[in-house]
C-alpha cells in the first residue's frame, strides 16, 4: 500500500456532534473490530474450537476506513481498533496511518493482547497511535497459558517493554477479574503497573457468549476489589477521564492510575458515548444487546454512496437502548455471541 505524508495533528478540529440517541447521549467514540481472529483463545472471550469467518465476509481495510470516515464526518473524534487481535490483521498499520490522517480524529487507540507488540510497537507509534491498552490477567506463566489456552506470557511482557520503549503517551493494562482464577494477583498486578509507570483497569466479567463454566461462580465486582486495593495502595479518587467507561483512582506518589470498568455494580450506561462495528460491518449501538444494523451491504453496493452510509449510521441511533441489562445469574447469556465477535 502507498506510503502517506507525515501525520497531521487534528486534535483541535471541532466537528459538530451529529449522532445523538433518543436519550440525549452524544456519540463521539467508535470501537471498530478489524478481525474476528486471535492468536489466543481466552476462556471468557471465545470457545476453544473457534470457527473464524471466511475472508470475504470480513471488512477490507479500505471498507474499515470508509466506515471510520463516515463516523468522523458525523462528529466521532475517538476511534479504537479492536479484534479479535487487531495486530494479526495484515497491513493493519496502513489503516492506522489513514485513520490518524483524517481531519477530526482527536485520538486513535489500540486494544491488543500484546503478543505482537515486541515487533510492532515502534511502527504502531509512528503510525499515530498515542494510547494503547494491553490485556493481561495474570503474571503467572502457567496460569496465563490456562486462561488464554495458547498464549505465552513472556511475549506479552516483552511487548509491554517494547511499548514503553516506543514512547506511547499512555499505556494501560486491562485485567478481567475472575474469582478463583486470578483474584489472588490483583495487588501484584497493580504493583507491576506502578513499577513501570503505567495504568491498569480491572474489568467485571461480562456475560457474553456461552462458555463451559458458570459465570456467577467467577464473577467479582468493583465493590469487592476496590477496598482491597485502597487498603494496600492508598488509592485516591480521580476525576481523570479517558473518554471511555472506566472510573479512576490515583496511586499517591506514582504516575499510575487504577481504573474499574464495572457494567454490573456501577452501571455507566447513562453516559455511554460509543458504538461498535464488527469485522463483518454490523453496527451494534450496545455491546450488551442484540439489536444491530448491517453496514456491509451498503459498503459493497456500487450504487450506495457515503450519504447513504451516514444516513444508516444516523438511523442506528434509534435502536441504541437505554442500557445493557447484564445478568451473570442467568443460566444462559442473553447475548450469545462471544466478545471476540463484537470486538474487545
pLDDT at site 325: 59
pLDDT at site 240: 85
ω into 84 cis (within 30 of 0): yes
For residue 176, give every residue at least 6 positions away whose Cβ sits within 8 Å of its Cβ, in sequence order, or none.
44, 135, 137, 182, 202, 203, 205
For residue 246, give every residue at least 6 positions away whose Cβ sits within 8 Å of its Cβ, in sequence order, or none.
201, 259, 260, 261
Query: Rounded to an integer, what distance in angstroms lies between the CA atom of residue 101 and that of residue 99?
Result: 5
Confidence of residue 62 (pLDDT cuts 50, 70, 90): very high
Using CA of residue 115, residue 121, residue 123, residue 125, what is the dihedral sign? Answer: positive
Indicate whether 76 pLDDT > 70.
yes
Please give the residue that has the higher pLDDT: either 286 or 172.
Answer: 172
pLDDT in tens, 103-119: 999 999 999 999 999 99
- When pLDDT is averaged across residues 298-321 and rounded to a whole number, the result is 94
SS3 assignment, position 215: helix
Q: List the domain boundaries for the chain.
A: 29-342
Please give the mean pLDDT across all residues of the chain: 87
Q: What percent of the chain has pLDDT over 90?
A: 67
Confidence of residue 296 (pLDDT cuts 50, 70, 90): very high
Decide: 75 and 18 in contact? Cβ < 8 Å. Answer: yes
Q: What percent of the chain has pLDDT over 70?
A: 83
Please give the residue that has the higher pLDDT: either 207 or 32.
Answer: 32
- When pLDDT is averaged across residues 165-177 and rounded to a whole number, the result is 96
Confidence of residue 38 (pLDDT cuts 50, 70, 90): confident
Indicate whether 26 pLDDT > 50.
yes
Q: Which of 61-75, 124-138, 327-341 has the lowest mean pLDDT?
A: 327-341
pLDDT at site 182: 97
Confidence of residue 5 (pLDDT cuts 50, 70, 90): very low
pLDDT at site 44: 74
Q: Which of 4-18, 44-58, 124-138, 320-334 has the lowest mean pLDDT?
A: 4-18
Q: Which of 146-160, 169-183, 265-279 has the lowest mean pLDDT?
A: 265-279
CA 85 and chain centroid, separation: 10
- In the sheet that 247-250 helps form, which strands lie side by side, from edge to edge? 236-237, 247-250, 257-261, 199-204, 170-177, 131-135, 107-112, 78-82, 29-33, 274-277, 282-284, 293-294
Helix 61-73 to helix 92-100 angle (10° resolution) is 20
In CATH, the number for domain 29-342 is 3.20.20.70
pLDDT at site 323: 66
Amino acid at each position: 500500500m502507498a506510503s502517506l505524508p507525515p501525520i497531521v495533528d487534528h486534535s483541535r478540529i471541532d466537528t459538530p456532534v451529529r449522532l445523538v440517541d433518543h436519550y440525549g447521549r452524544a456519540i463521539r467514540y467508535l470501537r471498530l473490530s478489524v478481525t474476528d481472529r486471535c492468536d489466543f483463545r481466552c476462556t471468557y472471550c471465545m470457545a476453544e474450537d473457534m470457527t473464524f469467518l471466511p475472508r470475504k465476509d470480513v471488512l477490507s481495510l479500505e471498507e474499515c476506513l470508509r466506515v471510520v470516515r463516515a463516523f468522523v464526518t458525523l462528529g466521532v473524534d475517538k476511534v479504537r481498533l479492536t479484534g479479535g487481535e487487531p495486530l494479526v490483521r495484515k497491513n493493519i498499520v496502513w489503516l492506522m496511518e489513514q485513520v490518524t490522517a483524517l481531519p477530526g480524529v482527536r485520538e486513535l487507540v489500540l486494544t491488543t493482547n500484546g503478543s505482537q507488540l515486541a515487533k510492532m510497537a515502534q511502527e504502531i507509534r509512528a503510525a499515530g497511535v498515542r494510547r494503547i491498552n494491553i490485556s493481561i490477567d495474570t503474571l503467572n506463566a502457567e496460569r496465563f497459558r490456562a486462561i488464554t489456552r495458547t498464549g505465552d506470557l513472556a511475549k506479552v511482557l516483552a511487548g509491554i517493554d517494547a511499548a514503553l520503549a516506543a514512547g506511547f503517551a499512555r499505556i494501560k493494562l486491562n485485567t478481567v477479574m475472575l474469582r478463583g482464577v486470578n483474584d489472588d494477583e490483583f495487588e501484584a498486578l497493580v504493583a507491576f503497573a506502578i513499577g513501570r509507570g503505567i495504568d491498569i483497569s480491572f474489568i467485571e466479567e461480562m456475560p457474553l457468549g456461552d462458555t463451559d463454566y458458570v459465570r456467577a461462580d467467577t464473577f467479582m465486582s468493583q465493590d469487592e476489589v476496590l477496598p482491597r486495593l485502597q487498603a494496600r495502595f492508598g488509592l485516591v479518587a480521580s476525576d481523570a477521564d479517558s473518554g471511555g467507561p472506566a472510573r479512576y483512582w490515583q496511586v499517591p506518589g506514582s504516575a499510575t492510575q487504577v481504573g474499574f470498568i464495572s457494567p454490573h455494580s456501577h452501571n455507566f450506561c447513562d453516559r455511554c458515548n460509543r458504538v461498535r462495528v464488527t469485522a463483518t460491518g454490523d453496527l451494534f449501538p450496545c455491546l450488551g444487546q442484540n439489536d444491530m444494523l448491517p453496514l456491509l451491504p451498503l459498503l459493497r453496493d456500487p450504487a450506495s454512496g457515503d450519504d447513504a452510509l451516514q444516513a444508516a449510521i444516523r438511523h442506528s441511533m434509534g435502536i441504541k437502548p437505554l442500557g445493557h441489562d447484564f445478568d451473570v445469574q442467568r443460566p444462559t447469556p442473553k447475548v450469545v455471541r462471544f466478545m471476540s465477535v463484537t470486538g474487545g
